[in-house]
Structure 1
Amino acid sequence: MNAYNAASDVANPKSGLKLADIPAHDPFVVADKTSQTYYLYTGGSPRLNGMDRYGVLVYKSRDLEAWEGPYVVFTVPDDSWANPQHGAWAPEVHIYDGRCYLFITLHNNDQRLEGIGYGGFPLQWRGTAIAVSDSLEGPFELVKQEAPIVPAEVMTLDGSLYLDEDNQPWMVYCHEWVQTADGTVEAVRLKPDLTDCASEPIHLFNGSDAPWDNGEHSQDGTPSAFVTDGCQLYRTSGNRLIMLWSTYENGSYVQTLARSTTGKLEGPWEQLMPLVAGDSGHGMMFQTFQNEWMLILHSPFRMPESRCKLYDMDDTGESFVVKSSRNDLDGDHVESALE
C-alpha cells in the first residue's frame, strides 16, 4: 500500500491518487452525468486529515482510477446540537428536488441519555443530520440545528434517503444496537423539504433476523447483541426492492442484503446471504457512466487501514450479485466475494 501523509490532507489536495492511497470509511459515490465526474464522499477528522473539527470530505475522479482531493464539503458547526470534536459518520449525498442533500451521522457525547447501554456503553446523543447545498462540492449547511432528525432520545445512525412509489421522501436508518442490544432498521417519512420527520417511525427488521450467527456472545455463549449498519435501498430491473446493510458473521464485518417480499418499504423483509465477507461492509451501489452497476465498500473495518474496495455487480432482476472484484481500480486485496 502506498505511503500516505494524512496530516496535510485538506491543506494540500493532490491529484493522481489511487483508492489505496485514501483512508476511507462508509464510502458513498455520486456519479454526476452532467460533469462526467464521480464524487466519493467519506468522513474527515482532525487526526487523519489535518482538520480542526470533524466533517465530510470529497474526492473526484473521471474514471474511478485516478482521484483528486480531498476537499472539505461540510464541517460540524459550533451552533448546532452536535459537538464538532465528537465525530461525523456515514456521509451520503442525494440529489432531491433540484438540490444536493447530505445525510450525516453526528454526535454529542456530553448529552447523555437515561440508562446504561449494552455492555456498559454510555448512551448519548447520536443521530443523522441533514444538510443542503446547491452543489455536489458543497458547502453544506444543516437544515435543522437544534436536534437530529429522529428524536434525540433514540440513538440512530446511517440515515439514507428513500423515495416511495408516490415520490414521498423517507429516511431509512439504523437504531443503534448499543441502546437496543438487538439493532434494528427503521424508517420515518420526512417533510417534503427534508427538514424534519413527518410520521412516526416504522420497524423494518432486526439484526437478529440474519439467518446466520451474527450476534456478539454473552458469557454463556448465547448471542446477545446484533449490529445493524449502512442501510441503502435500490430497485432491480425486475422491480424488486433490495436493501444493502452490514452486520457480522462469526465476528467479522460483512456486506449483506435483504429483499422486500411485497416490493414496498414496509416489507416484510427477507434476509439474503452476504455479498462480501472478509471484514468488509457499509457499502453502496452506483451506476457508472456506462450504466453498469458497481458496489463500493470499505475493508478492513478499522481506520486508518480501511480503504475502498470496488466490485462489478449483476442485476438479476430478483437481486444483485457480485460479478467480480476490481483489483485494477482499488489495488491488490484478498478476494472476499462469496460464491
Structure 2
Amino acid sequence: MLLSLIKRAVLSVSLSIALAGGVRAQNAAQPVRNDIPLDSIRLSDPFILADGPSQTYYMTGTGGKLWKSKDLKKWTGPYTVAKTDPKSWMGPEPMIWAAELHAYKGKYYYFATFTNKAVKLGEGLERRACHVLVSDRPDGPYAPMKDSVYLPADKLTLDATLWTDTDGKPYMLFCHEWLQNGNGTVEKIALKPDFSGTTGPAKLLFLASDSPWSREKNKDGSDRPNKVTDGPWVFRTQTGKLGMLWTSWIYDVYTQGVAYSQSGTLDGPWIQEKEPITPPNFGHGMLFRTFDGRLLMSIHSHRGVNGRTVRVPKLFEVDDSGDKLVVGKQITNGR
C-alpha cells in the first residue's frame, strides 16, 4: 500500500511553485510577484481562463493559487482565491488539485479536487472529492454553495471539469480514482442549474483499460493498459466533432491521449485514438481561445531541477478546423 501511495503522489500530487508536498506547504502564504515568465512558474495541471470582460488571462491549477496576465508572456501572482468552509468535510486546510475556472451565466465557478488528509477511507486512502465554489468575479474569492457534497463520500474522485451537452444541461465530468477501483474511470453527473449541487446518478463514459496507447507492466512482466485516468477536457471541433483530452502514462512517461464520441454527445460511445495526441512528457491539457482568436492548449511537463522533478506549464498551438484536433508547435513568450 505504501508503494501505491508513493506512486500516486508522483502521478498526480506535485504542488505548484516547487514546494514539497503537504497541506502546510500548499496553503502557505506566498508573496505576490510581478512579470514572471510562464516557464518560471511551478504548476501542475495549468488551467487558463481567457476572460473577455476583463481582457485578462487567469491561470490556476493544483495548489489552487491564481495567476493573472494580459499577454500570456508575463504573469502576476500567486493569489489565494478559494475560501472553503473549515467546518465542512474538507477540514480547515484542504489540499487543492487541478482547479479550473468556468464562466457561466454571469457567475464564475471554481471546479477543483479537495483532499482532507485527516480523514481516511479504506486502506488508508485520504478523503478526496470534486467540489464547486462560486464567485461574482474571475479573481474571486470563491466560496461554497448549498450542497455539502457533490459525489458520494466514500468515492475518491478527482479532476472535475464542466461541459454543457446537446440536451442543454450542464454536467460535471470527473475521474474515479484508480487506487480505489483498480481501473480509473471518466464519468459524468448532472449539475443543478445553479451548480450548487448534483442531481441523479453518475454515468460511466469510459475506463482506463479502454486505452490502446497507455502501458504498464503486470507482475509477470507482461504489458497492459495503465490504470490511471487523469485530467478530462471536453471540446468540439469546428466541424461539430465531440472529443475529450485525457491523460495517463506509458510506463513512466506522462502522456496525453484523445477520444471522440460517435454520437456527438457525452454518452458516447467514446472511441480512443490509437496514438497519443501530444509529445511524451506532457499531460493534463485544456484548450482556450486567446483574445486574438488563436486556439491554444495549456498543459504541463516534467523537468528536473536540483535533483527534484517539478512540473512546468507550457502552451501549444492547436488546429480544430477538421474532424480531429491537431496539436501544433510549442510556443514561447506567448507567441
2:205 equivalent to 1:197:
no
1:182: Cα distance to partner? Answer: 0.9
Q: Among residues 62, 87, 91, which one is paired with 1:79 in the alignment?
A: 87
1:58: Cα distance to partner? Answer: 1.1
2:312 equivalent to 1:323:
no
1:191: Cα distance to partner? Answer: 1.1
In structure 2, what residue type is equivalent to 1:27?
P
In structure 1, what residue type is equivalent to 2:55?
Q
2:8 — aligned with what? Answer: none
Match of 2:117, SS state, is strand
1:282 — aligned with what? Answer: 284
In structure 1, what residue type is equivalent to 2:125?
L
Percent identical among aligned pairs is: 36
1:221: Cα distance to partner? Answer: 3.2
1:327: Cα distance to partner? Answer: 3.2
Q: Distance in 2 between matches of 1:204 and 1:226?
A: 15
In structure 2, what residue type is equivalent to 1:60?
K
Q: Distance in 2 between matches of 1:223 and 1:11?
A: 42
Q: Distance in 1 between matches of 2:309 and 2:43?
A: 8
Match of 1:43, SS state, is coil
CA offset digits 1:227-254 (Å, max 9, x no partner): 0000111111011111111001132111
1:141 — aligned with what? Answer: 143
Q: Distance in 1 between matches of 2:301 and 2:226?
A: 22
Q: Distance in 2 between matches of 1:76 and 1:127?
A: 14
More off after superposition, 129-138 vs 103-112: 103-112
CA offset digits 1:37-85 (Å, max 9, x no partner): 11111233xxxxxxxxxxx211111111111111111144312211344
Match of 2:201, SS state, is coil
1:284: Cα distance to partner? Answer: 0.5
Q: Distance in 1 between matches of 2:236 and 2:226?
A: 30
2:213 equivalent to 1:208:
no
Q: Distance in 2 between matches of 1:107 and 1:5?
A: 19
Q: Distance in 1 between matches of 2:285 and 2:223?
A: 29
Q: Among residues 40, 47, 52, which one is paired with 1:33 in the alignment?
A: 52
Q: How does 1:1-339 map to 2 (within 5 A)?
A: 10-44=29-63, 56-114=64-122, 116=123, 122-144=124-146, 146-147=148-149, 149-221=150-222, 223=224, 226-272=227-273, 273-300=275-302, 305-329=310-334
More off after superposition, 138-147 vs 15-24: 138-147
Normalised to the residue count of structure 2, the TM-score between the two structures is: 0.85
Do the aligned partners of 1:177 and 1:225 also contact (CA within 8 Å) in 2?
no
**Count of paired positions:** 309
Q: Distance in 1 between matches of 2:255 and 2:314?
A: 13
Q: 1:141 to 1:315 in 2, by over 3 A?
A: same
Q: 1:152 to 1:144 in 2, by over 3 A?
A: farther
Match of 1:160, SS state, is strand
Q: 1:216 to 1:88 in 2, by over 3 A?
A: farther
Q: 1:296 to 1:109 in 2, by over 3 A?
A: same
1:123: Cα distance to partner? Answer: 2.9
1:167: Cα distance to partner? Answer: 2.0
CA offset digits 1:132-169 (Å, max 9, x no partner): 0000010000125633x111111110011111113211
Unpaired segments of 5 or more residues in structure 1? 45-55, 117-121, 331-339
Q: Distance in 1 between matches of 2:326 and 2:254?
A: 18
In structure 2, what residue type is equivalent to 1:312?
E
Q: 1:247 to 1:301 in 2, by over 3 A?
A: farther
1:9: Cα distance to partner? Answer: 8.7
Q: Distance in 2 between matches of 1:105 and 1:156?
A: 7
CA offset digits 1:12-56 (Å, max 9, x no partner): 312111012211011110101222111111233xxxxxxxxxxx2
In structure 1, what residue type is equivalent to 2:288?
F
Match of 1:201, SS state, is strand
Q: Distance in 2 between matches of 1:224 and 1:84?
A: 38
Q: 1:191 to 1:276 in 2, by over 3 A?
A: same
Do the aligned partners of 2:209 and 2:225 also contact (CA within 8 Å) in 1?
no
CA offset digits 1:201-238 (Å, max 9, x no partner): 11100111111242353245353751000011111101
Do the aligned partners of 1:129 and 1:144 also contact (CA within 8 Å) in 2?
no
Do the aligned partners of 2:186 and 2:206 also contact (CA within 8 Å) in 1?
yes
Unpaired segments of 5 or more residues in structure 2? 1-16, 20-24
